[in-house]
Structure 1
Amino acid sequence: MNQTVDAGVKALSQATASTAAGQSRPHESAHLHVAGAAPYIDDLPELQGTLHAALGLSPVAHGRLLHIDVAGLKALPGVVDVITAADIPGTNDCGPVIHDDPILADGVVHYLGQPVVAVLSHDRELARRAAARLKDFVQIEPLPPVLDPLQAHAQQQYVVPPMHMARGDVPTALAQAPHTVQGRIELGGQEQFYLEGQISYAVPKENRGMLVHCSTQHPSEMQHAVAHALGLHAHHVQVECRRMGGGFGGKESQSAVFACVAAVAARKLNRPVKMRPDRDDDFMITGRRHCFVHDYTVGHDAEGRLLAADVDMVSRCGYSADLSAPVMGRALCHFDNAYWLPNVQIDGFCARTNTQSNTAFRGFGGPQGAFAVEYILDTVARRLGRDALDVRMANLYGQHERNVTPYGQVVEDNVLQALIGQLVHSSDYRARREAVNAFNATSPVLKKGLALTPVKFGISFNLVHLNQAGALVHVYNDGSILVNHGGTEMGQGLNTKVAQMVAHTLGVSLERVRVSATDTSKVANTSATAASTGSDLNGKAAADAAQQIRQRLLAHLAAKHQVPVDTVDLAHDVATVNGQTVSFEDLVMSAYVARVQLWSDGFYATPKLHWDRNTMQGRPFYYFAYGASVSEVLVDTLTGEHKVLRADVLHDVGRSINPALDIGQVEGAFIQGMGWMTTEELVWHPTSGKLLTHAPSTYKIPTASDCPADFRVNLFTNENVEDSVYRSKAVGEPPLLLPFSVFFAIRDAISAVGQHRVDPPLRAPATAEAILEAITAVQASA
């Protein structure tokens, strides 16, 4: 490094030493990631005697489990033992809410791919080979499967009772509306496709203890699931997670089956057991984002304002409840997205199907609900011959009587008008709309499309009691600081933000702070790192602990110098008192000698929340995060291929704790959501129920070549009106809704084929096949 650059780096470091929050600092493990030195669970040294488990999966979608030839499986090469449901000493269940999710099948198999047995071997490959032969050693009497969610809906087969949300008089408003529109929206699911697959490593400990290294977003839930499976108390089980290679919701509840199988096998054989399925088995066993079908009838006026909306939402839940109820609840709460709906009736149906049990995915139902109203407004605009942006703006939440959601929460922090106005200007939307129309008028094969879509996303867990977190902060007598909290690091930068908040609160440099692995023996009863609340909850809890230590240090220094405590300060790694300065290290040592407590626990519970699940009314969200995006696409009408030419994003993260991390999260969410909207298609065999898209060869996630060539991401200047951590806003889930603009830009391009006189029946994801089908329909009707 040359002297000029070196001096600049040192100056920047000094300038930001005590203002750690609000600065773009590197991810705390970035240097380990790029060096290949960040250990994940599969990198941990295997203890002597470790066995490898592989799951034998059901070969049918539904049937009675009559017999398992355990002896025959044990006789296969390399097999040490075989675990069945009969070997589970406690409860054979790992359902997170409703206890309807067996660890291993018992009596009935519910989907093709359901775990039936676990095969143990010294060699992982031998275990996998033996498990793959389960079909030769099992007798199953087939039963008729229900594979389609609409079929399940018609038969009223649900994993939980239907949900209802209503406001106003929908029948009367529909009857009086100048215009009505009816339709169906088909929205596919999405595979989490975390880079690190599911994995658990269980190690027996003394006195019936069990240590489980688990790649999970919810260590406390894994602790409880394992304890129940072993027939033990929670204090017998310790779950640890240093980092995950991605989660996206797929490791919130569904890491449980792998943790429980590893722990049950480890307890039976009294040996360490590692459970790591390969990618194909991971796809076949676990669930993903829920597919949705929306049937709607809406009434609107000549300006496109929605006067009434009657919507049925049917989701594919799979065979068990998992988290389908709160996913549907959030879908209902996000149908309004950014818009005032005076009369609305929404009914949600969680269809039970003989497929993988679907689960959490980034956005947790919110994207599925919001997509429906965006689709409806896009259709209304086209039928009126208006620009979809103008129709969206006509429906936007405003002031006074137009700021209450259908579930009764007042939208108090609305920045939509200002944010969208800024994006319209910076993206040059109006001029580009004219340019797109001019291009399409002279281009018969290639068509361009343009769309702007907004986001209003509620932040908090659906269940009020989950909105809590704890943390521990230790200050050692050399001035270094160790933090432990209940959140999990899955690459999103949570530990970095928590460390920044601790450094900021104590008035010291970030380099002093280290965050240790999430561990149920340190912070108990934690909530999942989900619902975009990781930084909000754990950052607040850690700051609370740090603030207590800061107050003790200042009180000690004030007493020592016999001055009022409010005349003492601590910033830039230095305490000041009576015009004198004391280094942080000397202050800490002085406090230690004086027997001042240098560690503290912190706790945070989100205020103001209340929710009635029966009436679907209350305040389920602490605040809202906002954003908007403009996308321009090019569609080849002969092949159905598309390309995103440019994307402009403006997103509200409040007062950013770390702008670099936040921009990275927005970029990543946009690309992941774009994949859901365009290429990531799930396909099940119509009669066998086998998931056909169960590997990278058949399931297409976005790659670098799919990123917009011109990708402009900016953070909206704002500050949270609520007392969130550093007045920031959550950034994990909300930006996943931004690439709706890509889908509707594609729909706009298809609409140009018929001179915008025909509403394209485009389904999501907008694959090349779906685009061609929509083009054919437009051409036939034009």
Structure 2
Amino acid sequence: MNATVKNEYASGGSVLHRNISSGVQQYDKSQRQEQWSLAKSVPKIEGLHQTSGEAKFINDLPTFPGELYAAFVLSTTVHAEIISFDAKEALRIPGVVAFYTAKDIPGNNDFMPVKSEFSPNVEEVFCSGRILFHGQPVGLLVANTFETAQMAATKVRINYSTKPDEPIYPTVMDVANSKRHDRIVNIDYGFTGKSYSDSVTEPSMNVSGTFVSGGQYHYTMETQTCVCLPLEDGMEVHTATQAITLTQIAISQMLGVPENSLNVSVRRIGGGYGGKASRAVQIACACALACHLTKRPVRLIMTIESNMAAIGKRYGVVSSYCTDVTNEGQILRLRNEFLHDAGCNTNEAPDFMQGYYGNCYNMDVWSVVSKTALTDSASNTWCRAPGSTEAYAMIESIIEHIAFVTERDPVAVRLENMPTDSQMRPLLQSFLVDTEYERRRCEIERFNLENRWRKRGIAIVPMKYPVAYFGTLHALISIYHTDGTVAVTHGGIEMGQGINTRAAQIAAKVLGIPVEKISIKPTSNLTAPNDFCTQASITSEAAAHAVLIACDLLLKRIEPIRQQHPDVSWEQLTQLCHLQGVDLCATAMYNGVELPSYNVWALSCAEIELDVLTGNVLLHRVDILEDAGQTLNPEIEIGQIEALIYDRTTGELLTNRSWNYRPPGAKDIPVDFRIRLLQNTINPTGVQRSKATGEPAVNMAVVVLFALRNAINEARLDAGAPREWVPLGSPCTPDRILGHLGNSYDQYLLH
């Protein structure tokens, strides 16, 4: 850098420099010495096969004789009624076999057949009347090849009624800004604290603002996929789903066939995050219909463009809050009204949010009002940590705003609003020491004074995450008498979270054999009938619990033979059991009502660096402390811990592929990533004294946004911008960041 450049401007001459990433993983081994098969470092069972490309997913199934390919025909408008279809051009294309619509469905045109508080409404497999959103599936094109099906699907002409002159509202912000009250549904999952009042008599400061969080696509490596095969007694369904039971019921009712005629199986799926819970059922129904009508194998693989257009995403949210606080930041009264983006249907509204609103704070003087907006987009659905992500982001953003107005450290404001007996208090104090928060904050202040075009920020977020069990889930275990190997199948779906590894470790520990003797088989509706969807980070524990019960049943049968032959090997023991007619196959069921709920406690700290000239951000360091109880597999638990734009004239999704919708990449991983599992903790009510991981940690990601805001505030100070609250939400892209910095051309100086 030229010596004439002023030191504080020098940072503007280079891009953000990223060092090689490093990480620290800490967990307590000593407390689990007696649980050798759990304490032992067991790599993920499928890990090597996945990294080598040998792991088989649905679309890796071999091509079957006479197989056909299917592709959705999607609507090209919104609000209009379908009058008819003209498929003549598509059907003239060589290789095209058929085009199906709602009229070809022999049973119910509804892929959400199980009506409950989460899914009270019909959702059509193919739209039969009024178009609800641009990109809604209206039919299915079937052809001899994937390419032909995709191309021919675009040639089907849809004849619509005259489109009404009605505004299009693709997002919740559009509904909120338009004040269209007829688009708002009162699905009440709010609450009012016992001491809440509309006004306060004590001297106070008023803090009010908004928080906006946009939708989020489930960016899975595998799009929605299904392969169906006709059988002599029904159909075999291989589908990338988190919910085999719902899939079985929906296909049965759509085709008007018995449920026992359907064989639904899943070995693994290429990521889910909730996007393959109910949404995958629509794809399975469409594929099954084509298989049923053609009597041939059918493969339906959605392209990423059709996947993003037709399938719902995370519920977006707009929050409006008003609070009265003391000079120290204690909340005297808080009212938070928020509006959720349901898409075109209110199915799967996250009304379980109530348990997350308050985080670890005193809620007696709070009032939370929830409403849901119907928008002209695909019906939104559960996405990783649904409901809780928005809930924690809202309250933590309010806490940050209070700290900004009162000019206090956000950590002090958080402590001001925690109950005196909260378990979080000692954890937070210890975390501040472990992360060297005060020292680093002082260093960041000095760095910001010395650099005009680089700014750093640091923030801390605590979390109290309640976990409640529900549903039922089976496990079946078979011991093979000759070599003593064991096969396990359970009702959970492996989608990268390591559920199979945990199940194998539990079986090995209870049976007293090496993990290498355990093999995990695919999930099937034959061995896992009526099981609940894999979701909410509890399925790994549910599967482990069912495996544990089944193993205990086997041990009780084996024990008399073991007592007669105490010195024989496991292999000899299983042979003796077989010779004496002992049943070496057992099934068991986890029932959610059998296990009590508990809380997961966690903290996160993020330090970022901002390039004030470009809006780019470097995540310098992230520390996470999480209470995982007596973890089943620390490596896997640590691994679990480790923006949408529409054309407003048509409602068409424009960010429909990786070219214009950008997921986090390798350089978004923290340069310094430190994960620590809380030591000397046991969950006495959990499976093998463990706790859930995965979804809890996701809720603390908002800490990065807060650290970024602190850096933005420093940049605004240098730019001479007024000191005012910066309402950051998600997505938070470089262009949006630049809009907050207050830069002007006359500030671009060298000396």
Q: Same fold (TM over 0.5)?
A: yes
The CA deviation at 1:769 is 2.0
Residue in structure 1 matched with residue 242 of structure 2 by the alignment: 217
**What RMSD over aligned residues (CA atoms) do the two structures have, in Å?**
2.2
- Structure 1 stretches of at least 4 aligned residues deviating more than 6 Å after TM superposition: 15-18
Residue in structure 1 matched with residue 190 of structure 2 by the alignment: 164
Structure 1: state its 5+ residue gaps: 1-11, 404-413, 562-576, 610-620, 668-680
Inter-partner Cα distance in structure 2 for 1:291 and 1:434: 36
Residue in structure 2 matched with residue 83 of structure 1 by the alignment: 100
- The DSSP-based 3-state class of the residue aligned with 1:765 is coil
Structure 1 window deviating more from structure 2 (716-725 vs 700-709): it is 716-725
The CA deviation at 1:155 is 1.9
List aligned pairs for 1:316-395, cutoff 5 A. 316-323=341-348, 325=349, 327=350, 329-395=351-417
The CA deviation at 1:291 is 0.9
1:599 counterpart = 2:625: no
Residue in structure 1 matched with residue 309 of structure 2 by the alignment: 284
Residue in structure 1 matched with residue 475 of structure 2 by the alignment: 471
Shift of the 261–602 alpha-carbon distance from structure 1 to 2, 3 Å rule, reads: same
Per-residue CA deviation, residues 594-653 of structure 1 (Å, 9 max, x unaligned), is 2122111112223478xxxxxxxxxxx811212111111111223222111111111221
The CA deviation at 1:160 is 6.6
Residue in structure 2 matched with residue 430 of structure 1 by the alignment: 438
Residue in structure 2 matched with residue 694 of structure 1 by the alignment: 656
Residue in structure 1 matched with residue 206 of structure 2 by the alignment: 180
User: 1:18·1:508 contact (CA, 8 Å) conserved in 2?
Assistant: no
Residue in structure 2 matched with residue 564 of structure 1 by the alignment: none
- The DSSP-based 3-state class of the residue aligned with 1:210 is strand
Inter-partner Cα distance in structure 1 for 2:678 and 2:603: 10
The CA deviation at 1:720 is 4.1
Inter-partner Cα distance in structure 2 for 1:172 and 1:349: 19
- The DSSP-based 3-state class of the residue aligned with 2:742 is helix
Residue in structure 2 matched with residue 54 of structure 1 by the alignment: 71
Shift of the 608–747 alpha-carbon distance from structure 1 to 2, 3 Å rule, reads: farther
- The DSSP-based 3-state class of the residue aligned with 2:279 is coil
Residue in structure 2 matched with residue 491 of structure 1 by the alignment: 496
Inter-partner Cα distance in structure 2 for 1:267 and 1:99: 26
User: 2:683·2:690 contact (CA, 8 Å) conserved in 1?
Assistant: no
Residue in structure 1 matched with residue 25 of structure 2 by the alignment: none
Equivalent residue in structure 1 for 2:644, among 679, 682, 697: 682
Inter-partner Cα distance in structure 2 for 1:386 and 1:130: 62
Structure 2: state its 5+ residue gaps: 1-28, 746-751
The CA deviation at 1:494 is 0.4
List aligned pairs for 1:104-123, cutoff 5 A. 104-123=126-145
Equivalent residue in structure 2 for 1:442, among 435, 450, 457: 450
Inter-partner Cα distance in structure 1 for 2:744 and 2:679: 42
Per-residue CA deviation, residues 547-574 of structure 1 (Å, 9 max, x unaligned), is 111122113333x37xxxxxxxxxxxxx
User: 2:683·2:691 contact (CA, 8 Å) conserved in 1?
Assistant: no
Residue in structure 2 matched with residue 141 of structure 1 by the alignment: 162
1:34 counterpart = 2:51: yes
Equivalent residue in structure 1 for 2:573, among 587, 603, 611: 587
Inter-partner Cα distance in structure 2 for 1:778 and 1:394: 39
- The DSSP-based 3-state class of the residue aligned with 2:574 is helix
Q: Which amino acid aligns with 1:249?
A: G
The CA deviation at 1:177 is 6.1
User: 1:92·1:102 contact (CA, 8 Å) conserved in 2?
Assistant: yes
- The DSSP-based 3-state class of the residue aligned with 1:538 is helix
Inter-partner Cα distance in structure 2 for 1:352 and 1:376: 26
User: 1:290·1:358 contact (CA, 8 Å) conserved in 2?
Assistant: yes
The CA deviation at 1:394 is 2.1
User: 2:471·2:531 contact (CA, 8 Å) conserved in 1?
Assistant: no
Q: Which amino acid aligns with 2:169?
A: V
- The DSSP-based 3-state class of the residue aligned with 1:194 is coil
Residue in structure 1 matched with residue 619 of structure 2 by the alignment: 644
Q: Which amino acid aligns with 2:40?
A: Q
Structure 1 window deviating more from structure 2 (213-222 vs 233-242): it is 233-242
- The DSSP-based 3-state class of the residue aligned with 2:568 is strand
Residue in structure 2 matched with residue 670 of structure 1 by the alignment: none
Residue in structure 1 matched with residue 82 of structure 2 by the alignment: 65
1:728 counterpart = 2:679: no
Q: Which amino acid aligns with 1:772?
A: L
Could you state the TM-score of these two structures normalised by the residue count of structure 2? 0.89
- The DSSP-based 3-state class of the residue aligned with 1:351 is strand
Residue in structure 2 matched with residue 633 of structure 1 by the alignment: 608
The CA deviation at 1:159 is 6.0
Query: May I ask how many residue pairs the two structures share in their alignment?
Result: 700
Q: Which amino acid aligns with 2:733?
A: T
Equivalent residue in structure 1 for 2:261, among 227, 230, 236: 236
Per-residue CA deviation, residues 209-250 of structure 1 (Å, 9 max, x unaligned), is 111100011111111111111112221212111011111111
Structure 1 window deviating more from structure 2 (158-167 vs 495-504): it is 158-167
The CA deviation at 1:742 is 0.8
Per-residue CA deviation, residues 647-705 of structure 1 (Å, 9 max, x unaligned), is 111122111111111111111xxxxxxxxxxxxx2111122111111110001111111
- The DSSP-based 3-state class of the residue aligned with 1:255 is helix
The CA deviation at 1:757 is 4.1
User: 2:189·2:352 contact (CA, 8 Å) conserved in 1?
Assistant: no
The CA deviation at 1:496 is 0.5
Inter-partner Cα distance in structure 1 for 2:660 and 2:330: 42
Q: Which amino acid aligns with 1:355?
A: S
User: 2:89·2:155 contact (CA, 8 Å) conserved in 1?
Assistant: no
Residue in structure 1 matched with residue 14 of structure 2 by the alignment: none
- The DSSP-based 3-state class of the residue aligned with 1:238 is strand
Equivalent residue in structure 1 for 2:678, among 716, 741, 756: 716
Inter-partner Cα distance in structure 1 for 2:33 and 2:43: 13
Per-residue CA deviation, residues 351-375 of structure 1 (Å, 9 max, x unaligned), is 1111011111110110101100110
Residue in structure 2 matched with residue 522 of structure 1 by the alignment: 527
Residue in structure 2 matched with residue 663 of structure 1 by the alignment: 638
Q: Which amino acid aligns with 1:586?
A: Q
The CA deviation at 1:305 is 1.9
User: 2:33·2:39 contact (CA, 8 Å) conserved in 1?
Assistant: no
% identity of equivalent residues: 29
- The DSSP-based 3-state class of the residue aligned with 2:613 is coil
Residue in structure 2 matched with residue 764 of structure 1 by the alignment: 730
Inter-partner Cα distance in structure 1 for 2:308 and 2:407: 44
Inter-partner Cα distance in structure 2 for 1:168 and 1:702: 42
Equivalent residue in structure 2 for 1:297, among 310, 314, 322: 322
The CA deviation at 1:52 is 0.3
- The DSSP-based 3-state class of the residue aligned with 1:21 is helix
The CA deviation at 1:140 is 4.4
Residue in structure 1 matched with residue 9 of structure 2 by the alignment: none
Inter-partner Cα distance in structure 1 for 2:201 and 2:147: 65
1:507 counterpart = 2:507: no
Structure with greater contact order relative to length (CA < 8 Å, sep ≥ 6): 2
Shift of the 200–724 alpha-carbon distance from structure 1 to 2, 3 Å rule, reads: same
Shift of the 123–103 alpha-carbon distance from structure 1 to 2, 3 Å rule, reads: same
The CA deviation at 1:304 is 1.3
1:193 counterpart = 2:219: yes
Inter-partner Cα distance in structure 1 for 2:475 and 2:366: 42
Inter-partner Cα distance in structure 1 for 2:414 and 2:242: 36
Equivalent residue in structure 1 for 2:109, among 92, 117, 123: 92
Structure 1 window deviating more from structure 2 (716-725 vs 304-313): it is 716-725
Inter-partner Cα distance in structure 2 for 1:321 and 1:268: 32
User: 2:474·2:527 contact (CA, 8 Å) conserved in 1?
Assistant: no
Per-residue CA deviation, residues 149-203 of structure 1 (Å, 9 max, x unaligned), is 2554632324673433222243345454622211111111211110011100011
Residue in structure 2 matched with residue 7 of structure 1 by the alignment: none
Shift of the 279–754 alpha-carbon distance from structure 1 to 2, 3 Å rule, reads: closer
Could you state the TM-score of these two structures normalised by the residue count of structure 1? 0.86
The CA deviation at 1:313 is 1.5
Shift of the 778–603 alpha-carbon distance from structure 1 to 2, 3 Å rule, reads: farther
Inter-partner Cα distance in structure 2 for 1:184 and 1:357: 24
The CA deviation at 1:397 is 4.3
Inter-partner Cα distance in structure 2 for 1:500 and 1:381: 46
